[in-house]
Amino acid sequence: MIDELLAYQEADGKLRAIEQKISATEERKKYSAARKFLEKAPEKLDALDARAAELKHMFARLQKKSEELAETIKEYENLGEMIGQQGGEIAFYKKNAAHIADALRGLKAEIARLRQSVEEAAKEYAAAKKQTIAMQRQYKEYKDKYGEVKQTYAEEIKAAEAELAKLAEKVPKDALQKYMAKRKEKLFPVVCEVKGKDNRCPQCGMELSIAELSKLEGGGFIECDSCRRILFRGK
């Protein structure tokens, strides 16, 4: 089984090398960056919409407070008459006036902070919109270019996949499934030889137990507890 897996892995390595060449191209990088940005763009725009709704709510709250203070201030327009006719104490009205003044100052501070938040949100939205438009253009342009790059490697990929398909027929089904599962985890190489008297995984350096080494010496294979690669001892 190991020999068949090694042959399959060698062919898989050829396909992987081609894929890495494609991945390293500027066309693929630009296309991938634009695609990832556009995938997350709706989430970001939703967050900006939520922020806008929050700011709107805050503005409505401050507006209501402003109206309430305005109504209170009206009551003090005829302060002289109120004191003369009702015999009210000046100290009482002065205290109330001081409270109103404090409330006004607090309201002005809140409004200033809100204004700054609105300006920042507007700038962020404008920047997000500008970047989204740019990424939409980049996506369209580099999607086509990336397609052209892949096309140049189409024959090589086809040949490598045909070789893999042929070799896969010789690999036991359960072993191939295990191999493919590990490849999905971005492991490569998947199958590794523990050479000579080494007692460590050749890839991650994990020290192997006596029981594991014994199994290898007996011609079996094990999975590394650390990196999960398939290990065997060469003849």
Domain residue spans of the chain: 17-160, 168-233
Fold of 17-160: Helix Hairpins (1.10.287)
User: Beta-carbon neighbour count of residue 232 at 10 Å?
Assistant: 20
For residues 181 and 207, the answer to whether their CB atoms sit within 8 Å is no
Residue 36, both tokens: 């990832």
Q: What pLDDT is stored for residue 169 in this prediction?
A: 94
CA distances from 196 to 23, 102, 119, 216 (A): 36, 84, 69, 11
Q: What pLDDT is stored for residue 75 in this prediction?
A: 66
Burial readout 86-113 (b: 16 or more C-beta within 10 A, e: otherwise): eeeeeeeeeeeeeeeeeebeeeeeebee
CA distances from 163 to 91, 156, 183, 184 (A): 98, 11, 17, 20
User: What's the gap between Cα 54 and its chain centre?
Assistant: 25
Q: What pLDDT is stored for residue 228 in this prediction?
A: 93
Q: What pLDDT is stored for residue 59 in this prediction?
A: 76
Task: Give, for 129, the enclosing helix (H) or strand (E).
Answer: helix 90-152
Q: What pLDDT is stored for residue 89 in this prediction?
A: 62
Residue 173, both tokens: 């089904």
For residues 182 and 190, the answer to whether their CB atoms sit within 8 Å is yes
Q: What tens-digit pLDDT sequence spans the chain (235 residues)?
A: 788 999 999 999 999 999 999 999 999 999 999 999 999 888 887 888 788 778 778 877 877 877 777 777 666 666 555 555 554 566 666 677 667 767 777 777 777 777 778 778 888 888 888 999 999 999 999 999 999 999 999 999 999 999 999 999 999 999 999 999 999 988 999 999 998 888 999 999 999 999 999 999 888 889 999 999 999 987 6
Q: What pLDDT is stored for residue 230 in this prediction?
A: 93
